[in-house]
Amino acid sequence: MRVAACFGAGMDIVEPCAFPLTDKKIRAAAMDYGAAISPTRHASWTAYQNSAEAARGRLVLFTTAGAGEIWDFDFSADDRLLFGRESAGVPENVHESADERLRIPIREGMRSLNVTVTAAIALAEASRQLR
């Protein structure tokens, strides 16, 4: 939430999450950034797909199984950036829904970056391109 707030990005949370996400935990995670961001919660992937948010732009999934690298991708202002669980990524049906699948290249032998770092890198690169 802090990353989204600092970059001025909206944020959608699609449940179930990797951890219990009550309204109280969302407020705690937002800390003093809570006034700058108000995440939209969706009860399921289907609920998200039926929402107004899902109707705009390309769905860009960040995954270690991505075909393309973030540095070679041209972002658009209406792209929706999707990040999965650190431990398991996203389910196959979500993977199939993505218009683009990107990876952030990391050193060989390393598994992955955590979701917050990945989101920060992705938002920074998109912002750099779209400035």
- Is residue 70 annotated as involved in ligand binding? no
CATH number, span 1-130: 3.40.1280.10
Q: Tell me: the pLDDT tens digits for 43-100?
A: 999 999 999 888 889 999 999 888 899 999 999 999 999 998 777 788 899 999 999 9
The proportion of the chain whose per-residue pLDDT surpasses 70, expressed as a percent, equals 87
State CA 3 to chain mean position distance. 11
The model's pTM = 0.88
Q: Tell me: the pLDDT tens digits for 41-59?
A: 899 999 999 998 888 899 9
- C-alpha closest to that of 11 among 19, 34, 22: 34
Angstrom CA distances, 90 to 25, 70, 86, stand at: 22, 18, 9
Domain boundaries, given as residue ranges, for the chain: 1-130
Angstrom CA distances, 127 to 43, 59, 73, 109, stand at: 29, 17, 13, 29
State CA 91 to chain mean position distance. 14
Sheet holding 59-62, edge to edge: 68-69, 100-103, 59-62, 80-83
Question: Encoding tokens for residue 20?
Answer: 């219990």
- Is residue 84 annotated as involved in ligand binding? yes
- What amino acid occupies position 112? S
CA atoms of 102 and 131, how far apart (whole Å): 21
- Is residue 106 annotated as involved in ligand binding? no
- C-alpha closest to that of 4 among 40, 54, 45: 40
